[in-house]
Amino acid sequence: MTTTAAADRGDHWFGEAAYDRLTAAAETYREALLVRLAGEAGLRASEMVRVRPDDLRRVGSAPERHLLTVRDGDGEPDRETVVPPGLEREIRRYAADRGGDETLVDVSPRRVQMLVAEVTSRAAEQTGDERYRDIAVRDLRQYFARRLLVDAEVGPRVVKAVGGWGSFEALEPYLDPPDEERVVGAIDALVGRGPRDGPEAEGGHPVDGVASVVEAAEGCCAFRLGDEGYVTSWPESAERVLGRDAADALDRHLSALYTDEAMEENRPDDHLSTAAEEGRYEGAGYRVRGDGERIWCHTAVAPVREGGFAVLLVDRTGRKRRLDSVRDERDRLQRLRTVVEAVRTAEEDAMAATDRAGIERAVCERLADTAYAGAWVGVSGHASNSLSPEAVAGVDEADAERIADALAETGAVETDGPVVRSEDGPDPLPDAASGAFRRQGIRSLALVSLPARETSHGVACVLSERADAFCADERAHLGTLGRRVGHAITALRRRKLLLSDTVVELAFRVDGDRSFFNRVTEALDCRLSLESLVTGSDGTLVYYVTLSGAAPPAAFEFAEADDGIAEFRLVETRGDEFLLEFVLTGSAPSVALTQAGATVRRLDVASGESDLTAELAPDADVRSVSDELADAFPSADLLGKRSVEGSEPTAGEFRQGVPDRLTDRQESALRAAYFGGYFDWPRESTAEEIADAMGVSSPTLHNHLRKGQRELLRTVFGATDDAE
């Protein structure tokens, strides 16, 4: 029976490639060992838990082989099964720290089945093939039987014995009915005709019979070497597999097929020596075709009786690529799981911190301890584009400062989303910090913004020892972490202001033409007052300002000539005053104060001077806030500092103030619309239905709702004058 025949009948989709993908899904040595004990040694779950390391027995020496004693329920030997060399090494490795009398697997048979089920479920997730979920230990034993019967053509009696099957009926599905060729071959062997009667009978190797099989097999070739390792025969199969004709291959040394790396380690001579001394060499590695292409081959070298060596090569390049792909995907998913867990716990630690330093420290330590080589959080200076690490974990602080300075010089600190720099990527690591990267073993980094509502709280720099770190999924998770950390810092600052009976109020004056608003008011002899500052979706800042003493077109001429103004428009005319909108991409005094941790309450600009009032929590560092503003605007002066009652209303105060802003009709309309489901989506009630219930017309209801909602929003945003 052949594997193809089985596949044609649809009996067995679970072949060698599928088995390799399953073993690659194992995350621990124990999981891999349990799968292999069933799939390569034919053990049942109940038999695995009785295996002891000293149950392995070596048989033969050239080549060396091993058998494994399988014990019954009383612990007595029941049978022996074959153990491939790779599995034998894994058993000994796993048992290295266990005594010979201890069982290899110290769990119950039920737990063995559960562990195998976890591996099969993981394989289904990694490959997208749900059939893996149905694989159990019994299916792995069937795979073991099929490999012996079909691939190795081992006799059913031997397979029955090593697998512990009670009858041949269990093996019947894998046995093809004999065809005419097999019947004739059996008769020839019975009457004594065959390779033993041919010309090779005295030579040691029945080459004719083997060669015919090799020549017909795809990706397989056999050739001969002389005593010194030079090619003496080169059949068509060798030309096909290795891409060299006989004229090019004959009289060349075996080393011509090996890579430069293998030559440096003297592997060709080692393989020949092993074959000569131990009777056989087997291994796998890259071999070089005539066109220079590397192919992954299983190689077997054995001495022949008449002198020289026989070499068998099997091209397994496709299988290796598939296996490498599965392993790479498994490693990627494992790394991503580690990153996700690190991000999750970092968020939890950040939310539990009681101050900004604690938030930054918790995030850096969690990332450095679990998923990355190191991390630090830095605050950027406005004027010099500098970057100063405030919290550092996993790397030397001095090297963190060198990396920060180098990044600041490249302008990399001005970023909205995670920006990756790698030694192998399109955006390389900055040369100015090459020594720091080398000392810390850093091969790539990601800069993650910590955004606030109006600006940014700085950046987190995440460092990795892998050049291929920070895939799209990693960047997405880190970006989410950055936003949540920024939100946590903002929420902490607002919470301190809300819980404080008093706050620190600072008054600043900024003159000079560095500020756009200063330039406008000085040139037009007008006044600008800030009403609101909003962060745009692309990280820009939207200013709503009231203009008095000049016409909007005159102010817009300055905006058109300023590269720091992305958009501008007239929002509303209020008699002699105008509400204007400016979208700024550059800096401004209010932005610098916000980024330093202050809350701007007032901004008035006239005659080229900006007067600002900002509030801080009582325990805030006033000196650092003042220095941050001066860094961006050197002409800034601190005019005054005082303690005042907090201006943020409590929730109770807010609710108490709402009825004073609403008329009875407005409150009734809002209540009817809210409880009637008008604001739900999809709406539970239409405006007409609400209006009918209130006994008013639909236009009247809309008027009450619009004015009532406006009053609520004016209360939320602290507006005092009626603009209508």
- Write out pLDDT tens, residues 605-640: 999 999 999 988 787 778 878 888 888 888 999 999
Give the H/E segment covering residue 374: strand 374-380
Looking at residue 2, what is its pLDDT?
A: 37
Confidence band of 720 (pLDDT split at 50, 70, 90): low
Establish whether domains 197-315 and 329-497 are of one fold: yes
Class of domain 197-315: alpha beta
Cα 457 from Cα 696, distance rounded (Å): 51
Looking at residue 290, what is its pLDDT?
A: 93
Confidence band of 186 (pLDDT split at 50, 70, 90): very low
150 has a pLDDT exceeding 90: no
CATH number of the domain at 651-717, please? 1.10.10.10
Looking at residue 250, what is its pLDDT?
A: 93
The runs of H, that is alpha helices, within 587-723 are 589-595, 622-632, 651-661, 664-675, 687-694, 698-717
Give first-to-last CA distance, the chain, whole Å: 90
Looking at residue 131, what is its pLDDT?
A: 93
Q: What is the mean pLDDT of the chain?
A: 82
Tell me what percent of the chain is helix, strand and coil, each rounded to the nearest 5.
Answer: 50, 20, 30
189 has a pLDDT exceeding 60: no
CATH topology of domain 329-497: Beta-Lactamase (3.30.450)
Contacts with 279 (C-beta within 8 Å, 6 or more apart), sequence order: 62, 63, 302, 303
Longest C-alpha distance within the chain, in Å? 120
Q: Report pTM.
A: 0.48
Strand order in the sheet with 77-83: 56-59, 65-71, 77-83
**What type of residue sits at position 394?**
G
27 has a pLDDT exceeding 50: yes
Q: What is the pLDDT of residues 647-693, one digit of tens each?
A: 655 555 556 666 667 888 888 888 888 877 888 888 888 889 888 87
187 has a pLDDT exceeding 50: no
**Residue with tokens 């020949």, as numbered in its chain:** 272
Confidence band of 175 (pLDDT split at 50, 70, 90): low
Among 1.10.443.10, 1.20.1260.10, 3.10.129.10, 1.50.10.20, name the CATH number for the domain at 3-174: 1.10.443.10
Range with the poorest average pLDDT among 406-420, 445-459, 515-529? 406-420
Looking at residue 453, what is its pLDDT?
A: 61
- Output phi, psi for 364, to 5 deg: -65, -45
- For 259, counting Cβ atoms within 10 Å of its Cβ (0-12 exposed, 13-18 middle, 19+ buried), the class is middle
Looking at residue 22, what is its pLDDT?
A: 95
Cα 291 from Cα 534, distance rounded (Å): 63
Overall average pLDDT of the 243-269 stretch: 92
For the chain, give every domain's residue range: 3-174, 197-315, 329-497, 502-645, 651-717
Confidence band of 415 (pLDDT split at 50, 70, 90): low
